[in-house]
Amino acid sequence: MHIHKIKADRAATVSEMRAALSAGNNAEFEKLAKQVEAFDAQINAEERMAAFEARQPAKDSLESEIRAYSVSAAVTGYANGRLEGREAEVAQELRNSAQTTRGMRIPLSAIADYERREVTANPAFQNQSFQNLIPRLAPASRVIQAGATVLSGFGYGSISFPRMVGGPDANISWVAESGAVSQGSATFDNVTLAPKTAGVFLKVSRKALVTNSIGLDTLLRSDLNTSIGRAVDKTALVGGGTNEPEGIMSTIAATVFGDANDVSLHAADLMNAVEVEDNDGDVFFISQGVANLARRYRNALGMPVPLATQFYDKKVVVTNNVSGNKLVYGKISDLVVGFWNQAGTAPSVDIIVDTATYSSEGAVKLVGFVDVDVALKQGSASFAWGEAAVSGS
């Protein structure tokens, strides 16, 4: 019951109490008094509830715990059945808040954070000098770095965002004196994000497990982050594969280019495709093939033409996640990347630590699951893409 209704009923009952008292009806007076006491209890409860709802929640201590979190310590401890300390506390809190957990949960920010963490020295290596482990070369996430809109506050299930597709200005008309103005109303549809699961597989050798004092934690975080980033890039730019989200190329029809080797004209065609939709793009994603073609281009004096000139001073991102001779152009903030696996205050990755598969080698198999989806705020008005028919290719 609404608190204002309770207060109104209480006031009416108090008036009845006054009438009963004036009439000398003590029995009725006592009956009404109990009702007033019940109303007072309800009002007190509602006011306390309103105070709780208005109060800002205290800052979760999980954030400070994550800053010193060690992925390698968590993996090693879980594999040996001795997960303890900070890593055990974080894993338990994430597990308690998550809907389902296949193995062990680690916070997503512990993977995505590039900030260096201090690694405690192992006495077994104290008289030896080591440099950092050398990570493999792999394309990192580019769409998020370029400025895509990242949403990570989702719980579970699909999320829909209303989108205006038509407004009153569509019916603007010039009218004669005393003429009637045409009616106009806004029309809407929805942009929907639904969780789709990406799996990441890593194999950590026995020798790597004993090198936790020389940067294994940094290596694991970097490799997991790179793998997740590549998955996001591939689906955002291409997508449409089995169980994958729909990306730019799988959602929008390709723009057909006319001039085979002129990258600058290709860029102009893509910019025009976005601008005719009343949008304004700010970034190009190009393949290595297009980048090589642009870098080899020479003007009439035989001088190289800068990429900034050929792409009209727009930001240019070269990525292997765009194949062949393809170019993508659009408004990067219109690309929405949503993360699920939301546990408490921290998005997390579900990690299965498998010690059995490679037990004869002493290696550990790590399988990570993250739920993600991508969408375009304005559909085909957000991006355009095409593939250059390069002569000789």
pLDDT at 256 over 70: yes
Q: Of residues 19 and 106, which shows the higher confidence score?
A: 19
- Mean pLDDT calculated for residue range 26-44: 89
User: Residue 324 contacts by C-beta under 8 Å, 6 or more apart in sequence?
Assistant: 287, 289, 387
Residue 80 pLDDT: 74
Q: Does one domain contain both 87 and 162? A: yes
Q: Does one domain contain both 29 and 70? A: no
Q: Does one domain contain both 28 and 103? A: no
Q: What is the Cα Rg of the chain in Å?
A: 31
Residue 393 pLDDT: 39
**Do 247 and 328 form a contact (C-beta atoms < 8 A)?**
no
How many degrees, rounded to 5, is the angle at CA 342 between CA 338 and CA 345?
A: 115
Structural domain contains residue 391: yes
Domain containing 197 — which CATH number?
Answer: 3.90.1690
Count of the separate structural domains present in the chain = 2
Handedness of CA 95, 99, 102, 106 (dihedral sign): negative
Least confident of 156-165, 264-273, 368-377: 156-165
Q: Does one domain contain both 163 and 271? A: yes
Structural domain contains residue 128: no
Residue 220 pLDDT: 79
Residue 188 pLDDT: 76
Written as six digits, the tokens of 138 are 């792999």
**Distance, CA of 36 to CA of 8 (rounded, Å):** 11
**Distance, CA of 285 to CA of 279 (rounded, Å):** 17
**Mean residue pLDDT across the chain:** 79
Q: Does one domain contain both 109 and 243? A: yes
Q: For 123-145, how does the pLDDT look when each residue is reduced to its tens digit (9 = 90+)? A: 443 444 444 444 444 446 789 98
Structural domain contains residue 304: yes
Q: Does one domain contain both 393 and 361? A: yes
Structural domain contains residue 343: yes
Q: Does one domain contain both 152 and 221? A: yes
Q: Does one domain contain both 145 and 45? A: no
pLDDT at 115 over 80: no
Q: Of residues 228 and 55, which shows the higher confidence score?
A: 228
Structural domain contains residue 251: yes
Q: Does one domain contain both 40 and 160? A: no
Q: Does one domain contain both 305 and 349? A: yes
pLDDT at 53 over 60: yes
Written as six digits, the tokens of 91 are 């894993």
Residue 357 pLDDT: 85
Q: Does one domain contain both 45 and 66? A: no
Least confident of 58-72, 112-126, 130-144, 272-286: 112-126
Q: Does one domain contain both 321 and 352? A: yes
Q: For 280-296, how does the pLDDT look when each residue is reduced to its tens digit (9 = 90+)? A: 999 999 999 999 999 99
Residue 43 pLDDT: 86
With a pLDDT cut of 90, the percent of the chain lying above it is: 27
**Distance, CA of 243 to CA of 235 (rounded, Å):** 10
For residue 319, the enclosing domain spans 60-116+134-167+187-393
Structural domain contains residue 177: no
- pTM score of the predicted model: 0.66
Structural domain contains residue 154: yes
